[in-house]
Amino acid sequence: MSDLSNSPVALVTGASRGIGRAIAAALAQKGWRIVINYQSNAEAAAEALGLVQSAGSAGIAVQANIADAAERARLLDETLEVFGRIDLLVNNAGMAPRKRMDMLQMTEASYDEVMAVNLKGPFFLTQAVARLMAAQAVDAAFPRPKVVNIGSMSAYISSTSRAEYCLSKAGIGMMTRLFADRLAEFGINVYEVRPGIIETDMTSAVHEKYDRSFADGLAPIARWGRAEEVARAVVAIASDYLPYSTGEVINVDGGIHLQRL
């Protein structure tokens, strides 16, 4: 393997499967070293690491529940121990409610769990990583540090059978704006990539429902999105193609966000 010591380092949460895995692989193809965080699926994380390595890059897989403060701290310790720096944080890990329930029946336990994984964990991980990035010496060999949050069209589209998910993703929208505002003085840009309906394990249980939605004209681009298409937006950000934009939302949704008559 060539000397990768001058390659930038990306920490991608939830990178064992789905969108996170595609982001890890796409960044590795552009020469980034990758920390693959996952919660429980070690086999899937090993496969994702294999993709990074076969792209000619280096990485590590680190198990850590991002909803847990001690596990987040260990994730950062292990990252710094191996790579010594973080140039890009991709807050991708997320969960749908274990059970879709009408919001008049939804439980506090489901609300707490989804908010902890999708919003509280990413917020405090970003807080900790931002401190590290701000303290990292500016080095012309590395890009300026950045944060990308993977939000969702559920930030603004009502789904009354998963209100807790919608609330968490609306929170990600404001979290992006807050960190963009706070971190600009350190030269750290913050972005939200907002997927529409993407074919992953998360959406497998509602595949037929969304097939019908596409057939009924939900999106101008009338098909499922692919994880690789979300990853391309992250690569564009990581590659510094948006240096004068921060707090920006990039919709990757086949145009679902357009209001149409």
Interface positions with ligand NAP (CB under 6 A)? 13-14, 16-20, 37-41, 44, 65-67, 92-95, 117, 150, 152, 195, 197-198, 200-203
Q: Which is nearer to ligand NAP, 132 or 206 (CB)?
A: 206
The alpha-carbon radius of gyration of the chain (Å, integer) is 18
Residue 59 CB, nearest distance to ligand NAP (Å)? 14
Helices 121-135, 69-83: inter-axial angle, 10-degree rounding: 30
Residue 36 CB, nearest distance to ligand NAP (Å)? 8
Residues recognised as catalytic: 165
Residue 60 CB, nearest distance to ligand NAP (Å)? 15
d(CA 98, CA 101): 9
State phi, psi for 217 to the nearest 5 degrees.
Answer: 95, 25
**Sign, CA torsion 22/23/28/30:** positive
State phi, psi for 10 to the nearest 5 degrees.
Answer: -115, 130
State phi, psi for 40 to the nearest 5 degrees.
Answer: -140, -20
Q: Which is nearer to ligand NAP, 47 or 142 (CB)?
A: 47
Residue 234 CB, nearest distance to ligand NAP (Å)? 11
Q: Which is nearer to ligand NAP, 145 or 171 (CB)?
A: 171
